[in-house]
């Protein structure tokens, strides 16, 4: 299942009158809950073994807001298309446009293979109608792969770099 499909499912559930969805396709399990309701061990082994992120949305419980007003679901899981680099996360293009690896022609590139980046590091620029937009790393780590060339046209969501994350930071939520 792709990230797109998960997003579509989340959107469908959000607009529906259902509170809870459990989907099993082969060894993939997806559970979505609008109220935080998770049916314990009802479906057997279930939850702990689920290999995908489990987006549990908690709507602001006792308010009288209609269900459809609940905050939109967002799949936080970014590590798709990690290619051959194991454990790496992708830095993807935030918009469609022309990608530049350096601040100006002839200048040194923002990042190099094996280089260390922190979360706010600029890794490149995307030009759209003469406006240059900085692309941020979004994740601290080491550049494990450069997937695009200078001056290349990139689509929205296209993988630009793979970053091997550094050891877990103390402000990060432990994986479930």
Check residue 129 for interaction with another protein (CB under 8 A): yes
Rounded CA separation 22/82 (Å) = 26
DSSP E strands: which ranges in 26-147? Answer: 28-33, 89-92, 97-100, 116-117, 122-128, 131-136, 141-146
Check residue 25 for interaction with another protein (CB under 8 A): no
Check residue 119 for interaction with another protein (CB under 8 A): no
Count of residues binding another protein (CB under 8 A)? 20
* Residue choice 32, 33, 89, 97 for contact with another protein (CB under 8 A): 97
Check residue 150 for interaction with another protein (CB under 8 A): no
How many beta carbons lie within 10 A of that of residue 127, not counting itself? 14
* Residue choice 107, 118, 156, 168 for contact with another protein (CB under 8 A): 156
* Residue choice 131, 170, 174, 175 for contact with another protein (CB under 8 A): 131
Q: With CB under 8 A as the contact rule, which of the stretches 29-37, 77-85, 124-132, 137-145 interacts with another protein? A: 124-132
Which tokens hold the place of 89? 């996360």
Question: 98 forms bridges with which residues in the sheet?
Answer: 127, 153
Are 24 and 49 within 8 A, CB to CB? no
Kind of pairing between the strands at 152-154 and 97-100: antiparallel
Of the pair 113, 128, the CB lying nearest another protein is at: 128
Supply the DSSP symbol for 157.
T
Q: With CB under 8 A as the contact rule, which of the stretches 22-30, 109-117, 137-145, 149-157 interacts with another protein? A: 149-157
Footprint of another protein on this chain (CB under 8 A)? 4-5, 7-8, 11-12, 15, 95-98, 128-129, 131, 153-158
């Amino acid at each position: 299942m792709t990230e797109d499909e998960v997003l579509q499912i989340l959107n469908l559930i959000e607009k529906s009158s259902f509170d809870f969805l459990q989907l099993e396709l082969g060894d993939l399990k997806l559970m979505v809950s609008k109220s935080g309701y998770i049916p314990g061990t009802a479906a057997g082994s279930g939850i702990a073994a689920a290999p995908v992120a489990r987006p549990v949305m908690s709507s602001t419980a006792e308010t009288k807001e209609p269900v459809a007003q609940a905050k939109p679901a967002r799949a936080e899981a970014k590590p798709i298309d990690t290619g051959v680099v194991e454990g790496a996360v992708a830095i993807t293009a935030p918009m469609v446009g022309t990608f530049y690896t350096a601040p100006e022609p002839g200048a040194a590139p923002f990042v190099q293979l094996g280089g260390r980046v922190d979360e706010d590091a600029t890794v490149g620029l995307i030009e759209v109608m003469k406006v240059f937009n900085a692309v941020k790393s979004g994740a601290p780590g080491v550049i494990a792969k450069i997937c695009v060339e200078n001056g290349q046209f990139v689509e929205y969501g296209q993988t630009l770099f793979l970053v091997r994350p550094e050891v877990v930071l103390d402000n990060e939520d432990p994986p479930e």
